[in-house]
Amino acid sequence: MSGLIEYAEASPEVRAVYDDIMATRKTDWVNNFWKALANDPPTLRRIWASVREVMAPGALDPLTKELLYVAVSVTNGCRYCIASHGAAARARGMSDAQYAELLAVVGLANQTNRYATALDVPVDARFIQPPHGQ
Amino acid sequence: MSGLIEYAEASPEVRAVYDDIMATRKTDWVNNFWKALANDPPTLRRIWASVREVMAPGALDPLTKELLYVAVSVTNGCRYCIASHGAAARARGMSDAQYAELLAVVGLANQTNRYATALDVPVDARFIQPPHGQ
Amino acid sequence: MSGLIEYAEASPEVRAVYDDIMATRKTDWVNNFWKALANDPPTLRRIWASVREVMAPGALDPLTKELLYVAVSVTNGCRYCIASHGAAARARGMSDAQYAELLAVVGLANQTNRYATALDVPVDARFIQPPHGQ
Amino acid sequence: MSGLIEYAEASPEVRAVYDDIMATRKTDWVNNFWKALANDPPTLRRIWASVREVMAPGALDPLTKELLYVAVSVTNGCRYCIASHGAAARARGMSDAQYAELLAVVGLANQTNRYATALDVPVDARFIQPPHGQ
Amino acid sequence: MSGLIEYAEASPEVRAVYDDIMATRKTDWVNNFWKALANDPPTLRRIWASVREVMAPGALDPLTKELLYVAVSVTNGCRYCIASHGAAARARGMSDAQYAELLAVVGLANQTNRYATALDVPVDARFIQPPHGQ
Amino acid sequence: MSGLIEYAEASPEVRAVYDDIMATRKTDWVNNFWKALANDPPTLRRIWASVREVMAPGALDPLTKELLYVAVSVTNGCRYCIASHGAAARARGMSDAQYAELLAVVGLANQTNRYATALDVPVDARFIQPPHGQ
């Protein structure tokens, strides 16, 4: 898998996914991530199906979902994903102040996660959820 | 640093932080994370000051901040932090459906982060932000 | 440790390792990883000894070992290692279709690892191996 | 999402997935991972669809796919996934010697990934793949 | 948050932090990390306060603290932090031989961490610390 | 690989490594990590050889090496390794105050690593080392 598959050179199967991406997102372009995945059409189809389902509006609004995506991508150090989902978050209204607060929470969580692990802090009894249905 | 420092045995310096934690959170108890940090009072004071500032309501609401905390903690595999910030998120109104969607985004981001990295996808020109002030 | 030590400028100790790398791999060149390690000859010697032993054919064939190396490198986000072990895997016969499936498994595992951790799923009794010798 | 949903108490939607898991795997039981996911049926359905597609025999055989899954799970420190996919690998024929070699590769890759990153080793020209189709 | 805020264009609030960084470090320049954080002055102030407190001489000397910073940054794959704290460590006297040994420990720990996790090694009774005050 | 191989039941090859571990460390016991590795004698031998070489006194003293080991283990969330190398550090003189400072640096680095990555901070020219020999 290498190179970027442009719409003009894409197979009908790949074009169908590109068309669905643009229609779902109400845009007229497809970003490089999908053009890279398109080297393996089954991968392109499967990942897009997951993204379309997971990122759709639901119990969480689309902006919150993009913020969560950025938080994970920053923690994992994925430069492309920080750029692409950061742009998606801004397109959905993320302000500079919100981004600064997102990074503050991400930084803090990465810090305190290590304290909790190092000190092997026992989980408080009242944090333990009762089993489902009780 | 080991063991949990209970209020009754805490020094005045530690009690002052515990009191501020309870007052800020409008609760009458302190969770184990702080009791573990209290073995080193300067650490307790410094980390609490950061948490109080970062997690206060701001451009992002407190629930969104807790969701971001959980997303990072799941990605890092911090069991205590998933439990504590999951409970905090539920206390701020997170529904089961919202938690399911949070995990879906976290799982998806962890998956697609690896594709973007493995394929070394070049950042799209339109994702690159202009420098500050332009 | 910085810079790349070329064969022509290398000490006899470093050249001996380079010669062994080329002889073991049946190639006439040494890749940059070793030229960077060569700034500290004991490191070069120790790491090469481990790589030669671990990557030799054994119960797992050399291609499978390279695939595993790539899977770890993608998970850790090591760009150099993805490139070098991806090339080694292709040299041992990895097809484009196999690489696509490797990335699919790596992406999926990174996703489901987070679900298992977040949900704190208890290990099934039948997954627990009996102690050695029983 | 909490607790484990047993077959007897499951909704028809969840039972349909459980039935498909058992039919695909030719077994008569479902492991805890799925019973935990079943608290959110859309998640259960989506993740199972991905696992069924990705882990099916293809260009890579099922044992190799399980080995890759274990390699990622060890790197991420997912205890449940190491146990479940380790068991799946053994069920597909993984010997003790193969597991020892798998761990050797995983350990080595985690070590050398850090050297390559710390030394910022430039990617060798001959490791760079030509764009697709050239 | 984007771009680098130079001293000449900085607000008085930002300049006060820059001045304190230079005074604390006894240097006449500020590195890019702070110029990037300065896009959000509260973040700049909060992170600098933590760094000044944590990195000050104490029970551990400043060189040891920089070595630890580098060890974490290499493990996380943070290129900027490896460069900046590597330079800080060299400025505090880290020799090439010490850096080579640091990387050897970091590589080894990343390797053996995976063995301990994969094999689920039980913690030896004598490694368990008695609770505080006993 | 499973179970712990005690000295009494160990093969001569394994006993030789155990004997060397005890002689090198001037102790009369072997911790569980090695007893777990002993299920695969070549692994036991290879990993011990690396540990013995890397952890020996050199340009860095043994305490500093143990501190670095702990820093990596905390970052990776390896519970066993935090316990074993924490104990080793204490045995070499690590005080409670030093451990508190170690955790402070580890927590801070995990936090600032994410800022540097998220903001894609360019490496300062003066942090870039000249190539070897210049």
pLDDT in tens, B40-71: 999 999 999 999 999 999 999 999 999 999 99
Cross-chain residue pair A112–F107, CB shorter than 8 Å: yes
Give the gap in angstroms from C-alpha E93 to the nearest C-alpha of chain A.
27
Q: Is B5 on the interface with E (CB under 8 A)?
A: yes
Distance CA F93, CA A82 (A): 42
Give the gap in angstroms from C-alpha A19 to the nearest C-alpha of chain F.
31
pLDDT in tens, F25-77: 999 999 999 999 999 999 999 999 999 999 999 999 999 999 999 999 999 99
Residue C24 pLDDT level (bands cut at 50, 70, 90): very high
Please give the mean pLDDT across all residues of chain A. Answer: 95
Cross-chain residue pair F2–C131, CB shorter than 8 Å: yes
Q: DSSP states of chain D as a string?
A: --S---GGG--HHHHHHHHHHHHHHT-S---HHHHHHTTSHHHHHHHHHHHHHHHSSSSS-HHHHHHHHHHHHHHHT-HHHHHHHHHHHHHTT--HHHHHHHHHHHHHHHHHHHHHHHTTPPPPGGGSPPPTT-
Q: According to the model, what pLDDT value does residue A130 have? A: 67
* Residues in chain A within 8 Å Cβ distance of E14: none
Handedness of CA A29, A35, A41, A45 (dihedral sign): negative
* Residues in chain B within 8 Å Cβ distance of A72: 71-72, 75, 105-106, 109-110, 113
| pLDDT one digit per residue (tens) for chain D, 134 residues | 569 999 999 999 999 999 999 999 999 999 999 999 999 999 999 999 999 999 999 999 999 999 999 999 999 999 999 999 999 999 999 999 999 999 999 999 999 999 999 999 999 999 987 654 44
Cross-chain residue pair F46–C39, CB shorter than 8 Å: no
Q: Is A100 on the interface with E (CB under 8 A)?
A: yes
Residue A134 pLDDT level (bands cut at 50, 70, 90): very low
Residue C134 pLDDT level (bands cut at 50, 70, 90): very low
Q: Which of D72, D96, D106, D110 has the highest number of chain E CBs within 10 A, making it the mutation to test binding with E?
A: D110
* Residues in chain D within 8 Å Cβ distance of E106: 114, 118
**What is the share, in percent, of chain C residues with pLDDT greater than 90?**
93
Cross-chain residue pair A96–E42, CB shorter than 8 Å: no
B85-111 burial string, b = 16+ CB within 10 Å, else e?
Answer: bbbbbbeeebeeebbbbbbbbbbbbbb
Please give the mean pLDDT across all residues of chain D. Answer: 95
* Of residues F85, F119, F111, the one with CA closest to residue F99: F85
* Residues in chain C within 8 Å Cβ distance of E105: none
* Residues in chain C within 8 Å Cβ distance of E96: 1, 39-40
Q: According to the model, what pLDDT value does residue B90 have? A: 97
Average pLDDT for A81-108: 98
pLDDT higher than threshold 90 for residue A127: yes
For residue E8, the SS3 value is helix
Q: Which of D102, D114, D115, D120 has the highest number of chain E CBs within 10 A, making it the mutation to test binding with E?
A: D114
pLDDT in tens, C110-131: 999 999 999 999 999 999 876 5
Handedness of CA F77, F80, F82, F85 (dihedral sign): negative
Q: Which parts of chain B register pLDDT below 70?
A: 1-2, 130-134
Q: Is F76 on the interface with A (CB under 8 A)?
A: no
Which residue, chain included where needed, has tokens 């603290």?
E65
Q: According to the model, what pLDDT value does residue D116 have? A: 98
Residue F133 pLDDT level (bands cut at 50, 70, 90): very low
For residue B19, the SS3 value is helix
Cross-chain residue pair A107–F112, CB shorter than 8 Å: yes
Cross-chain residue pair D54–C117, CB shorter than 8 Å: no
Q: According to the model, what pLDDT value does residue B121 have? A: 97
Residue E134 pLDDT level (bands cut at 50, 70, 90): very low
C-alpha separations of C110 from A78, A116, C118, F127 in Å: 14, 22, 13, 34
Q: What is the DSSP letter of C10?
A: -
* Of residues B120, B114, B117, the one with CA closest to residue A2: B120
Helix (H) or strand (E) holding E130: none
Q: Is B49 on the interface with D (CB under 8 A)?
A: no
pLDDT higher than threshold 50 for residue E131: yes
Q: According to the model, what pLDDT value does residue B125 have? A: 96
Nearest to C103 among B77, B106, B115 (CB): B115
Q: According to the model, what pLDDT value does residue F2 have? A: 66
Q: Which of D5, D14, D33, D43 has the highest number of chain B CBs within 10 A, making it the mutation to test binding with B?
A: D43
**What is the share, in percent, of chain E residues with pLDDT greater than 90?**
93
Question: Is E65:E55 a contact under the CB 8 Å cutoff?
Answer: yes
Q: Is F113 on the interface with A (CB under 8 A)?
A: yes
**What is the share, in percent, of chain F residues with pLDDT greater than 90?**
93
Q: Which amino acid, residue B87?
A: A
pLDDT in tens, A6-62: 999 999 999 999 999 999 999 999 999 999 999 999 999 999 999 999 999 999 999
Distance CA F4, CA F44 (A): 12
The reply to whether ipTM tops 0.90 is: yes
Question: Is B129:C132 a contact under the CB 8 Å cutoff?
Answer: no
pLDDT in tens, E50-104: 999 999 999 999 999 999 999 999 999 999 999 999 999 999 999 999 999 999 9
Q: Which amino acid, residue E131?
A: P
